[in-house]
Amino acid sequence: MTDVSGHPVTGLDEVVHQRVRLGILAITHEAKRVEFGYLRTQLDLTAGNLSKHLSVLEAAGLIDIEKGYEGKRGRTWITLTADGDAALAAEISRLKMLIARVETA
Q: Write the pLDDT tens digit of every residue in 49-97.
A: 999 999 999 999 999 999 998 888 889 999 999 999 999 999 999 999 9
In this structure, which topology does domain 9-104 adopt according to CATH? Arc Repressor Mutant, subunit A (1.10.10)
CB 66 within 8 A of CB 77: yes
Asked whether residue 39 carries a pLDDT value surpassing 50, the answer given is: yes
Q: Sorting pLDDT into bands at 50, 70 and 90, what band is 11? A: confident
The Cα–Cα gap between 96 and 105 comes to 14
CB 27 within 8 A of CB 88: no
Radius of gyration of the chain (CA): 16
- What are the domain boundaries of the chain? 9-104
Enumerate helices (H) and strands (E) in the chain, giving the number of each.
Answer: 5, 3
Look over the chain and give the mean of its residue pLDDT values, rounded to a whole number: 92
Average pLDDT of 24-41?
Answer: 97
